[in-house]
Amino acid sequence: MKNELTNENYEALSRYRQERSHETLAEIPFLCEKGFYNTATNRLYYACYYAAVALLTKYHISTSTHAGVKTLLGLHFVSKGLITKESGRAFSNLYDCRQRGDYEDFVYSTREEVEELYPKAQRFVEEIDTLIDKDSNK
């Protein structure tokens, strides 16, 4: 189905994913306030995932797996210096945290972990926003 999308559809889908990224980041303070640190870690990953998918979609790059998103982001953007290596590592770390939290037993995130990961996720999303916005103004 995605192969049949027009350029306008790709743009709309990219913007939608970008909005989802921002909405998901906005959930983090509430989750922390309530003590839901595992959920906050999961949502931090998804905020970055939605941003990464927004960027890939903008360039008509598709994949059907989370690992594929991580790989293609690295190949097309991190390795070319368009996204910092620090942000690339942050995304990989959040991917690993989400995998452990969702699929392993007795994994508990702490407030300190979320407080460390939150600004890294924000920077990641900001870098992607800058790339998307820069390319939208051409």
- Distance, in Å, from the CA atom of 104 to the CA atom of 27, rounded to the nearest integer, reads 24
Give me the residue spans of the domains in the chain.
Answer: 2-136
Q: Is the pLDDT of residue 136 over 50?
A: yes
Task: Please give the average per-residue pLDDT across 9-34, as a whole number.
Answer: 96
Write down the pLDDT at residue 102: 85
Give the pLDDT score at 110: 94
| pTM of the predicted model as reported, rounded to 2 decimal places | 0.93
Tell the CATH topology of 2-136.
Answer: Four Helix Bundle (Hemerythrin (Met), subunit A) (1.20.120)
Burial 2-33 (b: 16+ CB within 10 A, else e): eeeeeeeebeebbeebbebbeebbebbeebbe
pLDDT at 60: 93
